[in-house]
Amino acid sequence: MNIKDADLHRDLLHKNKEWSARMHQDNPELFTELAKHQHPFFLWIGCSDSRVPPNQITGTMPGDMFIHRNIANMVVHTDMNLLSVVDYGVNALGIDHIIICGHYGCGGVKAAMGKEFGGVAANWVRHVRDVARLHRSELDLIKDEQARFDRLVELNVIEQVYDLSRTVILRDAWQRGRPIKVHGWVYGLHDGLIKDLGVTCDRYVHDADTTLATGNSI
């Protein structure tokens, strides 16, 4: 690592000072209010990809969104990190809109389409391989590789909406009458636009219910 690389982080600290001053100038009360409490309206579950920053692509501000990110925006039933975020978001913060947002060109999904590979990330991507296996009959019909990749990105989001809707956290919240909605979105790296897949779920999904698992994109 050369000197320039070693000092890269200083640029962030410098930019942070500028940002803080700018925000304060725009709204002198902002940080005072944010320091008191948070009342986010949205819980965002997205990919860790550096090109998909939730607040920037939705034009939201600090305090607007409670956020969880991992490779390929997965909802894994044994992931205590994710479950803790969902539990806190739903039960402590009272959030009623949960957004699961994937993105076209997702490296995690792409890896699941290729040969098996070693390393820790391979274990994580295994979950996406399961989604591909579940929808193999549909995916095999798509001859164009890019179109098949795009569709797997969408199907992966749909499956995560399904999985999240089957958690005990949401089941209990819906039983108590909470109007929670789980939305499935996909972000386009090529144009910066979000597509709503039209698979919004507002109820507990039973095993026999396959409407979500086969949801069509719009």
Q: Do the Cβ atoms of 157 and 102 come closer than 8 Å?
A: yes
Q: With respect to Co ion, which residue has the nearer C-beta, 99 or 106?
A: 106
Q: With respect to Co ion, which residue has the nearer C-beta, 98 or 109?
A: 109
Active site residue 51: yes
Q: Do the Cβ atoms of 63 and 39 come closer than 8 Å?
A: yes
Q: Is residue 49 within the footprint of Co ion (CB under 5 A)?
A: yes
Distance CA 7, CA 143 (A): 47
Q: Is residue 47 within the footprint of Co ion (CB under 5 A)?
A: yes
Distance CA 150, CA 189 (A): 12
Active site residue 201: no
Q: With respect to Co ion, which residue has the nearer C-beta, 93 or 121?
A: 121
Q: Is residue 186 within the footprint of Co ion (CB under 5 A)?
A: no
Tokens for 114, please give them.
């290729």
Active site residue 202: no
Q: What's the min distance (Å) between Cβ of 134 and Co ion?
A: 19
**Window of 5-13, 21-29, 48-56, 130-138 that interacts with Co ion by CB under 5 A:** 48-56
Q: Do the Cβ atoms of 44 and 99 come closer than 8 Å?
A: yes
Q: Measuring CA to CA, how many Å separate 101 from each of 44, 120, 132, 142, 161?
A: 7, 23, 18, 23, 10
Active site residue 101: no
| 12 burial type by CB count under 10 A (0-12 exposed, 13-18 middle, 19+ buried) | exposed
Active site residue 47: yes
Site string (101-130) toward Co ion, x via CB under 5 A: -----x-x----------------------
Question: Which residues form the interface with Co ion (CB under 5 A)?
Answer: 47, 49, 106, 108
Which residues does the annotation mark as catalytic?
Answer: 47, 49, 51, 103, 106
